[in-house]
Structure 1
């Protein structure tokens, strides 16, 4: 994918060294401006398409939040973050709940036309229903989980994924282990309410299973895909097994695993995925570590998924550029060329130039001791900026900042002021036309609020 933004930038070297050593001596391909597809740290994605719009649901890293992230897009390139009314940690807590936050959503549209979400909260599986992908969502079971933590205490009741077969029958797959060992996969047929079981629960655990089951059907064969390894290091990977019915038995395929770490290209621990089809092409939507590695901050990526002539899943080639589905992001909205400078940077890996490089693998972040973190754009001449978009590092957190403009770099006028009334979202749109040669954004708030960092600052 060619760069569409004509900025003067220098990309950071990716030969990083982390506390875990995962990026020691890493070299080779730099991240492109396709993958990751979302700006920020998210994991365990699920996706639905409705009325020509995509919706991605994901865990907020690290290790879940009070709720989920939900991203909406018409073109699979430009995404808007939404807040859902449900699930929340507060609403999804029962007498048997444990401390885990909101994790691992699975959303499907059932034969009745409604949308059903199965989600992990408190090491339990909860279910929600809505008429629209954005909700409002409600729990058809009231204030109770669908699968409690007491179902099988020796295993982890998480990562539930629903599958609707061609005949309209639906199934649920879930389960993991404790301490990164002893994973177990349970499965059962669902009643039409998608919130109760039609028959007994079966143990369908295939070889090398730990968590994150995903069911894919093709040519009357059932592909139970799943993750194994440890997501906090470099061993996480995608496996799959094949069966003749949705409840198995399943035998691991001879070429499993099919998506693994590639140190030479800075791709670490890909997994916990879903699969979708668009215009006859299958895609795998998954998370992998951010660059540089910061435990645990994962990012959502997409690549092609293909099948062999003899009915196997081909080994997936994870990329930085991404497939043609995400090519030419913002091709119809070219930002004004500029040069970015900043009052500080945390280190060499998070430079000012990264805020204008059309790349969600890179960002600018101010130094922790910067008392007035400032990022500035300089245009080649005085120009009219009609709209700005800010894409913060943590779009779900309140952002405190002021944007100012200047003709000469000395006298400044306020364009937008959110220093007293913080704004939440991504992207944050500023639609106030201004004539200027310089724009600057000054952040306020504590270091813990993570306000002084941007993936992108786009001026149109």
Structure 2
């Protein structure tokens, strides 16, 4: 009887240990993609909580948010920006339901500022792509956000999307954005090749510009400066990966968009996405400079994030990233959207570790296998 009792106790202890080990294992890992269906993800960290914003999701002609304490488990916070706020300047009845895209939120002096793209209702020429950038403000990261003015931040004379703001150590703020490819045909050796092969008659391009922001975000200072554009010549080592949407016959556009700028060890880095956001070739590269407005030099190891379906993986369309740090501030993560063979055309969010060292960026992704949770997660 005593022997049977000891065996029972032993089995109970083994089972308890296995359960504890399994629980502990579940606590220290996460797996991409996250349970968040957004495009163009951006994460704000404030007061020990992370807030994620992006294109799409549960928002109706506006933007929604998610919150998390560990960058892994996310809770819906509902819609935080509505186009019909008292200063709303956009038109929700235009193509793409108003094109409410790529929101990014920054905390400045206790206020939260939302930069975003949308279709401007002032459109005398009835252009299909009349994108402009707006700025809205709130006392809370969960809104409601109200536009600073009943008009876009500024009008450069062409459609613009994908606002990103960089705050330099000298107190100046810079806006980076993408000039949309709409009605922007550019002659290049890639365009000549596409025409010769019978794929496309012309190739439209989007370019990234930078400009200094007024301290109160009421406008810009000076003229925008061209920061990045697709390669002109075929011999350019960046041409092959940045032109895949064209050379594969997917679409007659080359994109440079979804940029994010940061500074580390005196070097300015700008990450950007190329190719069609809705295609498999969407990928991320970067460039470096000694000045926030360049000139920037593209990196030799581009692209640093791209599909793995050509190597037996399940992820494609990786792009429009932002960056975020772990709760302890020691680990750097690349936040981006992608697609998997399971999610199909739906964009979902990934976070993968990245390293920035001596002018070089390395992203350890895309991953779909279990990863350690960000350091010091709660």
Q: With structure 1 as the length reference, what TM-score do the two structures score? A: 0.58
As a proportion of its length, which structure holds more helix? 2
Shift of 1:303: 0.3
Q: Which runs of 5+ in 1 are unaligned?
A: 7-31, 333-460
Q: Show CA shifts across 1:7-46 (max 9, x none).
A: xxxxxxxxxxxxxxxxxxxxxxxxx95212234x211011
Q: Show CA shifts across 1:412-455 (max 9, x none).
A: xxxxxxxxxxxxxxxxxxxxxxxxxxxxxxxxxxxxxxxxxxxx
Equivalent positions of 1:186-265 (< 5 A) are 186-207=209-230, 208=242, 210-263=256-309, 264-265=312-313
Answer yes or no: is 1:185 the counterpart of 2:208.
Answer: yes
As a proportion of its length, which structure holds more strand? 2
| Equivalent in the alignment of 1:165 | 168
1 CA distance for matches of 2:221 and 2:370?
Answer: 40
Matched position secondary structure for 1:36: coil
Change (3 A) 1:130 1:242: same
- Which stretch of the first structure deviates more once superposed, 212-221 or 186-195? 186-195
Answer yes or no: is 1:75 the counterpart of 2:70.
Answer: yes
Equivalent positions of 1:265-280 (< 5 A) are 265-278=313-326, 279-280=329-330
Q: Which runs of 5+ in 2 are unaligned?
A: 1-20, 120-130, 183-202, 231-241, 243-254
| Equivalent in the alignment of 2:39 | 43
Shift of 1:322: 5.6
1 CA distance for matches of 2:204 and 2:84?
Answer: 26
Shift of 1:72: 0.7
Answer yes or no: is 1:312 the counterpart of 2:312.
Answer: no
Choose from 277, 283, 286 the match for 2:333: 283
2 CA distance for matches of 1:54 and 1:95?
Answer: 30
Change (3 A) 1:95 1:177: closer
What is the RMSD of the two structures over their aligned residues, measured on CA atoms? 3.0
Choose from 106, 113, 117 the match for 2:114: 117
Change (3 A) 1:106 1:95: closer
Shift of 1:251: 1.0
1 CA distance for matches of 2:266 and 2:320?
Answer: 24
Shift of 1:285: 0.3
Shift of 1:300: 0.6
Answer yes or no: is 1:59 the counterpart of 2:92.
Answer: no
Shift of 1:328: 12
Change (3 A) 1:177 1:121: closer
Change (3 A) 1:97 1:165: farther
Change (3 A) 1:93 1:254: same
1 CA distance for matches of 2:278 and 2:71?
Answer: 28
Answer yes or no: is 1:147 the counterpart of 2:154.
Answer: yes
| Equivalent in the alignment of 1:412 | none
CA contact (8 A) 1:59 1:65 kept: no
| Equivalent in the alignment of 1:88 | 83
Change (3 A) 1:89 1:248: farther
2 CA distance for matches of 1:257 and 1:54?
Answer: 28
Number of equivalent positions: 294
| Equivalent in the alignment of 1:20 | none
Change (3 A) 1:65 1:136: closer
CA contact (8 A) 2:88 2:147 kept: no
Change (3 A) 1:47 1:96: closer
1 CA distance for matches of 2:301 and 2:363?
Answer: 8
